[in-house]
Structure 1
Amino acid sequence: MSMNRTGTVRRAAVIGSGVMGAGIAAHLANAGMRVLLLDVVPQALLPEEEKRGLTLASPQVRSRLAQAAVARMAKAQPAPLYEPSFAGRITAGNLEDHLAGLSEVDWIVEAVVERLDVKRSLFERVESVWRPGTIVSSNTSGLSVAEMVEGRSDAFRQHFAVTHFFNPPRYMKLVEVVPTSDTAPEVTALLTALCEERLGKGVVVAKDTPNFIANRIGTYGMLVTLEEGLRFGLTVEEADTLTGPAMGRPKTATFRMLDLVGLDTLLHVVDNVREKSTDAAERETFARPPLLEQLVASGRLGEKSGGGFYRKIKGPKGGSEIESLDLESLAYRPRSSVKGPIIDAAKAAKGTGGKVRALIGTDPKHKYAQFAWQTIKRTLLYSAALVGVIADSITDIDKAMKWGFSWELGPFELWDALGLEKSVARMKAEGDAVPEWVLTWIAEGNGSFYKVLEGKRFVYAGGGGGYAAEELSPDEISLAALKEAGRTVLRTSDASLIDLGDDVVCLEFHSQNNAIGGEILTAIRRTAEEVSKNWRGLVIANDGRNFCVGANLLLLLMEAQNGEWDEVEDIIRMFQSSMLSIKKLDRPVVAAPHRMTLGGGVEACLPADQIIFSPETYFGLVETGVGLIPAGGGSKEAAVMAAARAGGGDIQPHLNALFETVAMAKTSTSGFDVGRIGLKRPQDRVIMRQDARIAEAKRAVLELDRAGYTPQPEARVRVAGREGKAVLRMGVHSLLLGGQISKHDALIGNKLAHVMAGGDAAPGAEVSEQYLLDLECEAFLSLCGERKTQDRMSHMLSTGKPLRN
């Protein structure tokens, strides 16, 4: 097998069908591979198997574990598959009857129990049928890579490494590739390319040390947080409030994360580092915390046992309530909220660096500030001490923590944000031992680990080599770096037009939550004029957490509550005309959405000539959830799609399906799933690697341009008309009679039916797109005037959840 082509890996096998094994098998299937999933043969029959007259020799019993894992994939949440049909790419078997099947695959992934003896024994069996040249990897989270394959042949060891996926494999970006001194360099390169290009992962190459990179530092950070929290007398809630989003970390923060991981699992990781460490200070830090031992001994393991640092109970009114652990008495009590000037300052600050500086600097003598400083300081120093030990570069350490633990900034990026020289001076003043390489780096006149010059990010290179340009894949385009290099063509407060090179520009949203408001609409109109005059084409994409969560709902609600109907209509007309300017542009337009792409975000994509979906794209016209209908061209585009799919035939079936999608506010569960809800067009496609979406969209623009692009003709739209509307409204009425929707839902549905069917036009009539936009606007305005719609809008803004009234 060629070691430089990821496309040669078409068939894979996963050994172990537990949570991780099944998740990895599902994601390999997501990537289009044929997967053989194997597990051990059960030693006893289940009661239902006995009732069916099966025996231990029955094939369905012998492969029961893997078969059950595949069956669970369709119902599991979060879903491991991009599309349920992908389960058909997985064949379930067992390690006795189907072991020989390993000789027919291109990649074998082991994901069995974390015991060295079990893994060694398994690899001995694997090698008995191993086809020379096949790559083999283990999903261990921290066992010695070299020790797992002791006794195996030289050829086997040369084709072996660790590929440590994080759970759940579909959603977590990080894969740590860990070679040994025996692993052939081309095998490491192929595994890296496979995980990045085929699986869409972010890869860091780690050294064969206990718990590798992310778990090593992440576990240390949790232990430090526990230790410092007890020292400063903080509650569980206080520690989590300070070590969550306020510190650029996930909402799960520390103690909630420990509950999710499992306290017994954490102790296992702690033991693994301590037992293999030769550093006395590290061994002391990784001593088993008595509090954790006490909780584990009492059966409080976290979420899997029903309680750890938090637990969920039934409240007096039947609903669920969350209690937290009192760290002194170890009794549970009602969870409390944490407030104060420091918390408020962190929430108000912009960016992770600003938030952390607010935590530490707002009131430096407060216990919150002291706790935050101590936990951050110790984690930074520990990370610095491990450079060259767990990874060769600080960028790999930063990436591992961002991708594996969802930190907004890695340790060295955070150190820069705090101010490297200032923070090191404070550390030295407090008697901390700062790694010599950090002191030397500062003494050489360097004030940060990273710096940006002419659009490129440079990073500490180590070994007296100064800064080196950070390597980016040719498939990655950094909008931030391009803006830093002065490649911004035009800008409003909420959007920028950025030169991507090759006469292609990218329209980037950067408002709060990337919600579409007046500034973005202005930018769209200005962009259309600019691109038409001076550029080959346009990409619509951004680097935000989500592509776009919709329109600025607060602005619409305020205008509606004030009865400013002319203002509301102006907003809608501006929204419609802006989206129409994209559709009518005489240059190719390609949209590249990712993650949440809702309401107005969808309406910003549908006018494009092509949409390139990231695999994790949650795409849907969700306006009915706030009592409205899509009115930025979304309802019109649904009618256009129904007509296109009907060709010259019956529109009604296609209209019915799209009406259901919009009326029920259906959202895709992945980029691949957009087709299920009917919003994917023939020219649209999905790419596996989210990081490549902007580069791929740029390539698509250039390809359309090279092919001799001609703008979309302003065609008339054939509609179902009043008879089609009657069919849609009959369906709405049936749902109302069945108690499945409320009267207000029915009102919304009837107005949507009027728009999507083309109003009172004759069946089969051809209407202009502007006619449909006028219907959209009229329906939207009338719904804005409804009190129940305003209640829905208000509820969504205050809770983030839809109200069914």
Structure 2
Amino acid sequence: MQASQSGQRHIGKVAVCGAGVMGAQIAAHCVNAGVPVVLFDLPAKEGDKSAIAKRAIAGLQKMNPAPLGTPGLADAITPANYEDDMHRLAECDLVIEAIAERMDWKLDLYKKLAPFIKPGAIIASNTSGLSITALSQALPEALRHRFSGVHFFNPPRYMPLVELIPTADTTPALVSQLETFLTSQLGKGVVRAKDTPNFIGNRIGVFGILSVFAQAAKASLPVDVVDDLTGTRLGRAKSGTFRTADVVGLDTLAHVIATMRDQLPDDPFHASFGLPAVVSALIEKGALGQKAGAGFYRKEGKAILRVDPAKGGYVPADGKADDAVAALLAERDPGKRLQALRESSHPQAQFVWAVLRDAFHYAAVHLADIADNARQVDQAMVWGFGHAQGPFELWQAAGWRQVAQWVADDIAAGRALSSAPLPDWASSGPVWEAQGVHTAQGSWNPHTQSFQPRSSLPVYQRQVAAPRLVGEATGLSETVVFENEAVKAFTLPAPHPEDVLLLSFKSKMHTLGPDVIQGIVHAVDVAEGSFKALVIGQLTEPFSAGADLKSMLPLFAQGGIKAVEPVERAMQDMVQRVRYAQVPVVAALAGMALGGGCELAVHCAKRVAHFETYMGLVEVGLGLVPGSGGLAYCARRAAELQSETNPDIPLLALLKKFALAVASAQVSKSALDAREIGYMLPSDTVVMNRYELLYVAVREAAMLAQAGWRPPLQQAFPVAGRDAIATLKVQLVNMQVGGFISAHDFTVAEKVAYVMCGGDVDPGSLVDDEWMLSLERQAFLGLLADPKTQERIMGFVKTGKPVRN
């Protein structure tokens, strides 16, 4: 780990000690970010001593959801064991221990690791709730200042939250360095937690689960109804509560609950820290949840069953929230919604109010114990548990004073889970006057009795338009250049480059309708006249779900193909305008970039993509071919690859990858996977933190401009021609005969092959953009007139799912 001239150290390699589920996935996410890893585990008793780590690495390539951005990244993880490879610790700048939650095992391991740790390296324990201070005692005193807790939430690739838990001995600069690495290099949302049992996320989150258990039992609600009430209707994870417990594992949940029960005897809510009888019974039967095939739920064939404690078995899981309660939960005004739930006599409504009240109550009572400020609690619940809002933010959004009074009334009436009163700060003083814990000055810190600003670490200056909590000051102060109902063009203030124009879309899912298309063209015109570069990107995901089919259907219904052709041509003209613009146009990608969104992106001068970017030309699923330059791009890119690598390689060999991706509507599993498919180039940039995307994109655009960027010359390129079409058609016939594709699938895929190979021309014939776009347009419009394609489109518009016909 070397220090730069600014004094900032760099973490070049990581050691992960423990190749279990969490350790292996933490290793996977490090290599996703380009950081090589040495993965340690116990020596195998027979054969290769690193066999345990090797099996874990191999297992990463089979897991779903995939921990690796591409399977090949597994090669960047070096397997190791504690007997032969301890010297490899000296290569590593960060050592993460991630073995089982056993204090004695962890302490024993630290004693073995300590002599081999590199001078200056950071040491961290991935623990979900053990005392970091107690763990540090196993290290020599000289190493304790470099030790902290770093709790990744599962699965590490997809869950944003990492809790960072320093001890009293941890050097503050080291904590900041680690926070910077986790935030920028691994793309995480970091919350600093106090060294208390279960820290912030699990302390609040597991109490919330216990509250649901308790209140569901009081209301006699079955698990499927509870999950419907506590899922997306409540602004929480789709899986609700009981299904989430199954995913976590009932044995794991029981362990975390036991930690709270054993280590928090003085918690005023301690009476609620028991394991419900139904959970104990399931664990005794080995029904530990998803990993065991049964828990609160069990799958039999295609049927989903739920546990019924009264019957001692499983019954169909078809319960839903009552329509009346669902209507209350659909109320958009948080204050009106909570008031309606509280005043309703419906058991389901009373249940939901009780769960929310318990969350407010517990978070307020324990804020000072577990966190420095209210923001950390709210962000922990959003990033770690998938809540739309944390408890304090929801409380404040619903009206701080009124909700505080309701909670106090329930406590006084004995309806709450504890008789502990709300802390004084919740019902008087600055929070009461500000009507909430989040203000423009910062979030409430009960220790300093003041509102604490957000972190001033430089890494957070890179986050453009990161979400703000209710009551906080907005994080974006842009200058609008032009704006209409479809698009918004703006610049960012200094120190961002002010000569780079940014364009975002306002359409639902950022689809590309006629008004958005016109907005993109106008933005290119404005950028060429008054700016040095243009970035096309969104403040919220996705980048674009593609063409706006709904706007196209009325045109088709009224005027048929002739009415749609101008829109199709306008899409093609737009991507060409972007490709040949006189200023560099950079696509800032995050989330989906599908269909026309993908076609727009591939025609930009460069792509800057968040790691979790899912690109694909998916039109064949609707019975269409990509019609906005996507197939032209694939043909041209294959020709470029032939020129860049080996002119003797047949074009068809390079084109097959693109043809398969388009014909199967393949969507990349990450930005790195998009690079492997060919929708991103090796020179394109991948960022790990979603909120650094625009920061990086505007600087990449400015650098292209400063380097004297020029658009590509409009040159002809060779195509594979009729021979390649015939070869691909034979393969399609075999797939149809084998029953892998339908007759209409064959028709669509044949069109893809025809266009991508350049049409009925000799192999190696030179064609230009207009030739390829004309082929695309004819194929697209011809398929649009096909009744089978129309069935697919109408079915998709109605259901959101592809129709197979």
TM over 0.5: yes
Q: Does 1:500 align with 2:485?
A: no
3-state SS of 2:174 partner: helix
Q: Structure 1 residue 798: deviation in Å? A: 4.8
Partner residue, 1:114: 101
Q: Does 1:369 align with 2:365?
A: no
Conservation of the 8 A alpha-carbon contact between 1:621 and 1:634: yes
Conservation of the 8 A alpha-carbon contact between 2:328 and 2:340: no
The one-letter amino acid paired with 1:592 is A
Partner residue, 2:590: 594
Q: Give the distance between the partners of 2:340 and 2:596, measured in 1 at CA.
A: 39
Partner residue, 2:287: 300
Q: Give the distance between the partners of 2:405 and 2:486, measured in 1 at CA.
A: 38
The one-letter amino acid paired with 2:397 is A
- Of the three residues 216, 219, 237, the one matched with 2:224 is 237
Q: Does 1:149 align with 2:163?
A: no
Partner residue, 2:750: 750
Identity of aligned residues (%): 35
Q: In the TM superposition, what are the counterparts of 1:54-73 in structure 2 within 5 Å?
A: 56=46, 58=47, 60=48, 62-73=49-60
3-state SS of 1:597 partner: strand
Partner residue, 2:785: 785
Superposed CA offset, 1:8-35 (max 9, x none): 3222222111101111122222233332
Q: Structure 1 residue 724: deviation in Å? A: 4.0
Conservation of the 8 A alpha-carbon contact between 1:492 and 1:519: no
3-state SS of 2:782 partner: helix
Partner residue, 1:423: 403
Q: Does 1:439 align with 2:427?
A: yes
The one-letter amino acid paired with 2:303 is E
Q: Give the distance between the partners of 2:474 and 2:705, measured in 1 at CA.
A: 23
Conservation of the 8 A alpha-carbon contact between 1:139 and 1:163: yes
- Of 371-380 and 490-499, deviating more is 490-499
Partner residue, 1:226: 213
Conservation of the 8 A alpha-carbon contact between 1:16 and 1:110: yes
Q: In the TM superposition, what are the counterparts of 1:557-596 in structure 2 within 5 Å?
A: 557=553, 560=556, 564-596=560-592
Q: Structure 1 residue 358: deviation in Å? A: 4.1
Conservation of the 8 A alpha-carbon contact between 1:82 and 1:671: yes
3-state SS of 2:74 partner: helix
Q: Give the distance between the partners of 2:632 and 2:62, measured in 1 at CA.
A: 34
Q: Structure 1 residue 412: deviation in Å? A: 2.2
Q: Structure 1 residue 560: deviation in Å? A: 4.9
Q: Does 1:521 align with 2:500?
A: no
3-state SS of 1:14 partner: strand
Q: Does 1:412 align with 2:392?
A: yes
Structure 1 residues 235 and 494: CA distance shift in structure 2, 3 A: farther
Q: Give the distance between the partners of 2:554 and 2:294, measured in 1 at CA.
A: 43
- Of the three residues 202, 226, 242, the one matched with 1:215 is 202
- Of the three residues 346, 358, 369, the one matched with 1:389 is 369
The one-letter amino acid paired with 2:223 is V
Conservation of the 8 A alpha-carbon contact between 2:9 and 2:177: no
Q: Give the distance between the partners of 1:358 and 1:601, measured in 2 at CA.
A: 37
- Of 649-658 and 749-758, deviating more is 649-658
Q: In the TM superposition, what are the counterparts of 1:106-505 in structure 2 within 5 Å?
A: 106-314=93-301, 320-338=302-320, 340-342=322-324, 345=327, 354=333, 358=337, 361=340, 364-365=343-344, 366-431=346-411, 433-441=421-429, 445-451=433-439, 458-460=442-444, 463-466=448-451, 468=453, 471=456, 473-478=460-465, 485=477, 487-501=479-493, 502-505=498-501
Structure 1 residues 191 and 404: CA distance shift in structure 2, 3 A: same
The one-letter amino acid paired with 2:171 is A
The one-letter amino acid paired with 1:593 is L
Q: Give the distance between the partners of 2:462 and 2:492, measured in 1 at CA.
A: 12
Structure 1 residues 233 and 803: CA distance shift in structure 2, 3 A: same
Q: Structure 1 residue 144: deviation in Å? A: 0.7
Superposed CA offset, 1:362-416 (max 9, x none): 7941333322222112112212222232111222222211111111222222222
Q: Structure 1 residue 428: deviation in Å? A: 3.1
3-state SS of 1:300 partner: coil
Structure 1 residues 485 and 194: CA distance shift in structure 2, 3 A: closer
Partner residue, 1:51: none
Structure 1 residues 100 and 485: CA distance shift in structure 2, 3 A: closer
Q: Structure 1 residue 131: deviation in Å? A: 3.7
Conservation of the 8 A alpha-carbon contact between 1:16 and 1:38: yes
- Of 101-110 and 265-274, deviating more is 101-110
- Of 257-266 and 294-303, deviating more is 294-303
Q: Structure 1 residue 235: deviation in Å? A: 2.3
Q: Structure 1 residue 458: deviation in Å? A: 4.5
Conservation of the 8 A alpha-carbon contact between 2:616 and 2:665: yes
- Of 674-683 and 464-473, deviating more is 464-473
Q: Give the distance between the partners of 2:570 and 2:348, measured in 1 at CA.
A: 47
* TM-score, with length taken from structure 2: 0.90
3-state SS of 1:594 partner: strand
Q: Give the distance between the partners of 1:357 and 1:151, measured in 2 at CA.
A: 53
How many residue pairs get matched?
778
- Of 790-799 and 283-292, deviating more is 790-799
The one-letter amino acid paired with 1:164 is H
Structure 1 residues 594 and 424: CA distance shift in structure 2, 3 A: same
Partner residue, 1:104: 91
Q: Give the distance between the partners of 1:98 and 1:467, measured in 2 at CA.
A: 46
Partner residue, 1:317: none
3-state SS of 2:462 partner: coil
Partner residue, 1:36: 38
Superposed CA offset, 1:570-611 (max 9, x none): 332232233333223322211111122211221221121100
Structure 1 stretches lacking a partner, 5+ long: 44-55, 315-319
Let me know the Cα RMSD of the aligned residues.
2.8
Q: Give the distance between the partners of 2:308 and 2:33, measured in 1 at CA.
A: 46
Conservation of the 8 A alpha-carbon contact between 1:460 and 1:468: no
Partner residue, 2:416: none
Q: Structure 1 residue 486: deviation in Å? A: 6.3
Q: Structure 1 residue 86: deviation in Å? A: 1.9
Conservation of the 8 A alpha-carbon contact between 1:489 and 1:499: yes
Conservation of the 8 A alpha-carbon contact between 2:247 and 2:290: yes
Q: Does 1:549 align with 2:560?
A: no
The one-letter amino acid paired with 1:634 is G
Q: Give the distance between the partners of 2:445 and 2:303, measured in 1 at CA.
A: 50
Structure 1 residues 336 and 430: CA distance shift in structure 2, 3 A: same
- Of the three residues 635, 639, 643, the one matched with 2:639 is 643
Partner residue, 2:470: none
Partner residue, 1:53: none
Q: Give the distance between the partners of 1:106 and 1:443, measured in 2 at CA.
A: 43
Structure 1 residues 159 and 3: CA distance shift in structure 2, 3 A: farther
Q: Give the distance between the partners of 1:592 and 1:164, measured in 2 at CA.
A: 30
Q: In the TM superposition, what are the counterparts of 1:676-695 in structure 2 within 5 Å?
A: 676-695=676-695
Q: Structure 1 residue 697: deviation in Å? A: 0.2
Q: In the TM superposition, what are the counterparts of 1:641-680 in structure 2 within 5 Å?
A: 641-647=637-643, 649=647, 651-680=651-680
Partner residue, 2:700: 700
Q: Give the distance between the partners of 2:678 and 2:618, measured in 1 at CA.
A: 14
The one-letter amino acid paired with 1:446 is A
Partner residue, 2:417: none
Conservation of the 8 A alpha-carbon contact between 1:159 and 1:184: yes
Q: Give the distance between the partners of 2:621 and 2:328, measured in 1 at CA.
A: 32
Partner residue, 1:617: 613
Q: Give the distance between the partners of 1:600 and 1:346, measured in 2 at CA.
A: 38
The one-letter amino acid paired with 1:66 is A
Q: Structure 1 residue 176: deviation in Å? A: 1.0
Superposed CA offset, 1:224-278 (max 9, x none): 1121122223222221112111111111111110111112221211111122225
Structure 1 residues 93 and 711: CA distance shift in structure 2, 3 A: closer
